[in-house]
Structure 1
Amino acid sequence: MNPGLRSNSPGVLGSVSRFWHKSYAPDYLGFALLFTGYIVVQFLVEPFHRMFSLSDLRISFPHAEVERVPLSLDFVYALFIPLIFIIVYNTTRGASTHKHHVAILGLAIAMILASFLTDVVKNAVGRPRPDLLARCKPKPGTPHDILVGIDVCTEASHHTLHDGWRSFPSGHSSFSFAGLGYLSLFLAGQMRIFAHGAHQGIGEHTEKLVRGDLVRALLCLAPLLGATMIAISRCQDYRHDVYDVCIGGLLGWTVTYWSYRRYWPRLGSSRCDEPYAGPPAAQDSGRYDRVRDEEEGVGLGQNVGSELHQLR
């Protein structure tokens, strides 16, 4: 049955259908499912335990009892700082409730999706951390030149031991690039670092690059530098190697860009500082009021949406 027909039907079913299609209910349901999946994977799923050798120098590094960026600080740097900054920025700029809403919702979805995917891959791959032997504390007399399993380990702490097989990819890296990467994209859009101006009249157009000054551009890059330093700290603590943190950072950046673009135009758009109208606009149009990239005159320096506005 056509969704539009269902949304126009009377009764409770019709009300639910209209609410579903004209609100962000699907996004919140998806967030809830991802959060539930993350909790299940985090606390109920154990990683695959690859076999290892006591003579493998790649897993012979010491176990750092005090981390440079513990998990609590990673939450502060990658989640709370971007969240507070976005709220304060939008408030001081007099942003609409819709802009506040989608800016926070996009960040939240990026963070939970990056965390969920990271933990799923961690447990499936089961790659030993560089400090595995220090965590494992093998039994005396364990052979050095053959492959052995987790059964030779004497570590009593369940989390300390099993977390030794969650090296790939780096969770700190994916989490920090998801949160601070989203903040970087948000700043670039609000400051219009890459925005293109559009036409000067009906039937004619010019292309003008509204390039932000270097200071503002560097400000947009600052969150990415912070994410990079968090990732580097994981190598310094011997929790991960360079491969782990690079893939983790790439995963976090990919997820956050995907989440950002669901709610915001491309950074080269002349309207990059304002989010898409989204489901609330469906009350009038019957669909998402999303201006597609090709409708913004990609390659023409022309914003078709603005031109249509002038014709009204």
Structure 2
Amino acid sequence: MSNLLGRLRPSHDSTATDNPTTFSGATPRASTNDPSGLDQTTSNTTVVREKRSRRDLEAAEEEEEEEYEGWVDPYGPAPTVLQWFKWYWHDLLAFIILGAIALWLLMWSPVPYRKLFAVSYNPESGLTPSSTIIYPSFAHPKQSQIMPIVPDAMIAIFVPFISIWLINFFGIGTHGPTGRRLKTRGHGTFLLGRGSFWNVNNGCWGVIYSVMTGATLQIIIKLVIGGLRPHFLTVCDPQIEGVEGQGYGGLYFDVTVCRDFENRKDLIANAMQSFPSGHSIAAWAGLFYVSLYYNAHLKIFANYHPSFLKLLLFVAPMLAATLIVGSLTLDMSHNWYDIAAGSAIGVVMAILGYRMCFASVWDWRCNHIPLPRNREIGGFGYGLREMEMWSGGAATRNGGWGVAERYSHRSWGAPGDLAGVGAGLGGGGGLNGGNGGNGRHHGHGHVHGHSGRGHRGGETYMHAPPAGTGVGAGDGSAVYNR
């Protein structure tokens, strides 16, 4: 019994070991019969704890400061002006030539003599032209435009430019995984240590591609096809008395019947160039591009449930474009079909311009990644490694985005507009067949062919399997037919 009690009775050694506040060489424990000694021990313990807490906090802050260095642009720093010019001189030359042609066509603006139009007829005397307007939709009064073309073009260009710069300055690569705001250290910095030069570069080029191409197309289409504006008859003021018309019943005339035609050719020619709407093309080419950019970099339609405010931000540029083109019906500058055709062309131009500069339009995994022009980098390979390197290139921290590569842990297997890409988290796998090797996603699709990306024994190949035909399976396996 005495042995048992001895084992159950706690010793001073065990207490010193179990109590984290008791150290070797410290003041011995005071007797409970001495209140002053107990107070002194308690005070010493509190001081030790505070010192340890301060040291631990300082060490944690130093470790965090050292570890969370922020995201680094995988394409490297901004090039020199000379190097940038060597990569883009042909684009600049093409823009100069295209702008000169567009300006010449706009200044030339020939009168479409072959276009005929009906004016009026007298229902009481058969088809004899007289007083009843045949097409009152072309007889509206001429009004000043609510949104002139110059402000419309400025909005289409500079709203995207400003949006791209703001996204880079306030969003891209500026947060650590704990929410701390960071400067992007190392190479690849831009905008006072924030953002990505290549993102700004490609984003602005895409706007220029979109708006410039759309503007040139609308000038060519207007000169070739044209169309009567809603105020055409008011501008023309046809003088048909004693003039023999053309067509059935002599109802149709050409522009020579317009009042004072020789001195008002430019005004009359403009009134016959309604299709398509240049305002609509410019507005949608620039502002829909902004919506695409917001979606890609804020990951609005991606792998998490975003805030409603992001949806409003995505819709806002399209609302602005709709209001701009809608004003054309209020001042009777265009017909509804001119606006519809121009808007459709503008949307197509925005999609084409964005896709030329970024890895995807709608695929949330990579639609924020700018495509390289530098031949030394080569093309973007759409592989897992590259996608993780660009995780910090998004302007949101939701869904695991907006942090450096080493903090990025996500699945990449959602369908999108990527063609067969083989990449697995733990082994070979095709994105069309699901992620491989992580035990969470499994698919049944396969990626066949002599090109693509995949894994073999932990080794990634860029373009083609070493031999034979590569098959990337969604269950994490890789099969090669030799």
Establish whether TM, by shorter chain, passes 0.5: yes
2:102 aligned counterpart, secondary structure:
helix
Specify which of 356, 359, 368 is matched with residue 273 of structure 1: 368
1:183 is aligned to 2:301: no
Which letter maps to 1:147? Y
Q: Is the 8 A contact 1:132 1:165 kept in 2?
A: yes
Partner of 1:113: 213
For 1:190 and 1:302, locate their aligned partners in 2 and report how far apart those are by CA, in whole Å. Answer: 23
Correspondence list, 1:186-205, <5 A? 186-195=293-302
Partner of 1:139: 239
Correspondence list, 1:41-80, <5 A? 41-46=105-110, 48-49=112-113, 50-55=115-120, 56-64=135-143, 66-80=144-158
For 2:119 and 2:266, locate their aligned partners in 1 and report how far apart those are by CA, in whole Å. Answer: 21
1:40 is aligned to 2:104: yes
CA 1:311/1:119 → structure 2, altered by over 3 Å: closer, same or farther?
same
For 2:244 and 2:295, locate their aligned partners in 1 and report how far apart those are by CA, in whole Å. Answer: 55
CA 1:26/1:290 → structure 2, altered by over 3 Å: closer, same or farther?
farther
1:246 Cα shift?
0.5
1:279 aligned counterpart, secondary structure:
coil
For 2:354 and 2:434, locate their aligned partners in 1 and report how far apart those are by CA, in whole Å. Answer: 23
For 2:98 and 2:165, locate their aligned partners in 1 and report how far apart those are by CA, in whole Å. Answer: 24
- Residues 116-135 of structure 1: CA distance to partner in whole angstroms, max 9, x if unpaired? 00111111112111110111
Structure 1: gaps (5+ residues): 1-18, 196-208
Correspondence list, 1:240-279, <5 A? 240-266=334-360, 267-276=362-371, 278-279=372-373
For 2:270 and 2:366, locate their aligned partners in 1 and report how far apart those are by CA, in whole Å. Answer: 45
Which letter maps to 1:72? V
Q: Is the 8 A contact 1:90 1:100 kept in 2?
A: yes
For 1:236 and 1:216, locate their aligned partners in 2 and report how far apart those are by CA, in whole Å. Answer: 31
Using the aligned pairs only, state the percent identity: 24
Specify which of 245, 259, 275 is matched with residue 154 of structure 1: 259
Which letter maps to 1:116? T
1:31 is aligned to 2:95: yes
1:300 Cα shift?
4.2
1:97 is aligned to 2:188: no
1:227 Cα shift?
0.7
Which letter maps to 1:58? S
Q: Is the 8 A contact 1:47 1:126 kept in 2?
A: no
For 1:311 and 1:96, locate their aligned partners in 2 and report how far apart those are by CA, in whole Å. Answer: 29
Q: Is the 8 A contact 1:191 1:212 kept in 2?
A: no
**Equivalent residue pairs, number:** 275
Q: Is the 8 A contact 1:54 1:143 kept in 2?
A: no
1:109 Cα shift?
1.2
For 2:455 and 2:98, locate their aligned partners in 1 and report how far apart those are by CA, in whole Å. Answer: 40
For 2:162 and 2:312, locate their aligned partners in 1 and report how far apart those are by CA, in whole Å. Answer: 20
For 2:94 and 2:137, locate their aligned partners in 1 and report how far apart those are by CA, in whole Å. Answer: 39
Q: Is the 8 A contact 2:138 2:229 kept in 1?
A: yes
Q: Is the 8 A contact 1:47 1:122 kept in 2?
A: no
Q: Is the 8 A contact 2:295 2:314 kept in 1?
A: yes
1:138 Cα shift?
1.9
1:307 Cα shift?
8.0
CA 1:225/1:176 → structure 2, altered by over 3 Å: closer, same or farther?
same
Report which of the two structures shows the higher radius of gyration computed on alpha carbons: 2
For 2:287 and 2:381, locate their aligned partners in 1 and report how far apart those are by CA, in whole Å. Answer: 26
For 2:91 and 2:453, locate their aligned partners in 1 and report how far apart those are by CA, in whole Å. Answer: 26
For 1:263 and 1:76, locate their aligned partners in 2 and report how far apart those are by CA, in whole Å. Answer: 21
1:211 Cα shift?
4.3
For 1:290 and 1:259, locate their aligned partners in 2 and report how far apart those are by CA, in whole Å. Answer: 20
1:35 Cα shift?
1.7
For 1:83 and 1:45, locate their aligned partners in 2 and report how far apart those are by CA, in whole Å. Answer: 31
CA 1:157/1:89 → structure 2, altered by over 3 Å: closer, same or farther?
farther
For 1:81 and 1:129, locate their aligned partners in 2 and report how far apart those are by CA, in whole Å. Answer: 29
RMSD: 2.9
For 1:91 and 1:244, locate their aligned partners in 2 and report how far apart those are by CA, in whole Å. Answer: 38
Normalising by the residue count of structure 2, what TM-score does the alignment of the two structures yield? 0.52
Partner of 1:5: none
Partner of 2:379: 288
Q: Is the 8 A contact 2:359 2:380 kept in 1?
A: no
Correspondence list, 1:157-176, <5 A? 157-176=264-283
Which fold has the larger relative contact order, with Cα–Cα distance below 8 Å and residues 6 or more apart in sequence? 1
1:43 Cα shift?
1.3
Q: Is the 8 A contact 2:239 2:259 kept in 1?
A: yes
User: In terms of mean alpha carbon deviation, does 25-34 or 248-257 score higher?
Assistant: 25-34
Which letter maps to 1:249? S
